[in-house]
Chain A
Amino acid sequence: ILNVEQSPQSLHVQEGDSTNFTCSFPSSNFYALHWYRWETAKSPEALFVMTLNGDEKKKGRISATLNTKEGYSYLYIKGSQPEDSATYLCAFRLNYGQNFVFGPGTRLSVLP
């Protein structure tokens, strides 16, 4: 059974703070890692797809890094805004054509 972990489970930050959280996954085999943002009452929305060790992706104030050798990915948010409040999910895929295993998510609350 593949286990994908995320930490912390939840965090509260002040508007303007920068923050980061972690996704850990099995490092023995790797195909892809996805990050999603899931806002309350909406559908999960794709942020990044990462496939290569050392990948760094950036979208506005949000960026992510990937280390497949040690089995982790970091998501960074610079200058958090209230609209960043959401649950951030990572999803690990072992091989092409196989299903995704989602982590439990990190719930971020940005206080104005």
Chain B
Amino acid sequence: GAGVSQSPSNKVTEKGKDVELRCDPISGHTALYWYRQRLGQGLEFLIYFQGNSAPDKSGLPSDRFSAERTGESVSTLTIQRTQQEDSAVYLCASSLERGGLNEQFFGPGTRLTVL
């Protein structure tokens, strides 16, 4: 596609439910990142996929969070048993990851509200 897309754009859920967020990166981009921004805070790294390498999961805040990526395409971020502190904007970004530039292209984000 022309850019990174994410769905849904907004998600309201009840505490304790599971949610799944989707990211479609730019075609050909080998690297994919998930971030979140909670209210009043900065951009927080969650997970990074690069080609066929093992993902860098060092930013996932708890074992309720998991993410998968199929090859170099779609990624899903799953949050199990959501808590109110999970409310945030979840951003996905992709990059070409070739040479030194590697600028990230961000999607529009998914705003998650946990009631």
Give 4 new A-B contacts, CB below 8 A, not counting A32-B102, A43-B106, A44-B106: A44-B104, A96-B100, A97-B53, A101-B45
Binds B, one of A59-67, A78-86, A102-110: A102-110
**A99 & B103 in contact (Cβ 8 Å cutoff):** no
**CA of A42 to CA of B91, assembled, Å:** 11
**B33 & A100 in contact (Cβ 8 Å cutoff):** yes
Binary B-proximity of A24-45 (CB < 8 A = 1, otherwise 0): 0000000010101000001111
**B106 & A34 in contact (Cβ 8 Å cutoff):** no
Interface residues on B, range: 20 to 34
Binary A-proximity of B22-64 (CB < 8 A = 1, otherwise 0): 0000000000010100000111110010100100101100000
Q: Which residues of A contact B45 (CB under 8 A)?
A: 99-102
Nearest 9 pairs between A and B by C-beta?
A: A104-B42, A43-B106, A46-B103, A102-B43, A99-B48, A44-B106, A49-B101, A51-B100, A99-B56
Q: Which residues of A contact B53 (CB under 8 A)?
A: 97
Beyond A99-B58, A101-B45, whether A49 also contacts B102 by CB under 8 A is yes
A89 contacts chain B at the CB level, 8 A cutoff: yes
**CA of A100 to CA of B33, assembled, Å:** 9
Beyond A97-B53, A100-B33, A102-B35, whether A46 also contacts B43 by CB under 8 A is no
- Give chain B's interface residues, CB within 8 Å of chain A: 4, 33, 35, 41-45, 48, 50, 53, 56, 58-59, 91, 93, 97, 100-109
Least CB separation from B106: chain A residue? A43
Q: List 16 A-B residue pairs with CB atoms under 8 Å apart, sorted by A's residue number.
A: A32-B100, A36-B104, A46-B103, A46-B105, A49-B100, A49-B101, A49-B103, A93-B102, A97-B50, A97-B53, A99-B48, A100-B33, A101-B45, A102-B42, A102-B44, A102-B45
Please pick, from A36, A45, A89, A99, the residue contacting B33 in the complex, using a CB distance under 8 A.
A99
**CA of A88 to CA of B107, assembled, Å:** 17
Beyond A43-B109, A98-B56, A100-B33, whether A105 also contacts B103 by CB under 8 A is no
Q: Which residues of A contact B43 (CB under 8 A)?
A: 44, 89, 102, 105
**CA of A105 to CA of B42, assembled, Å:** 7
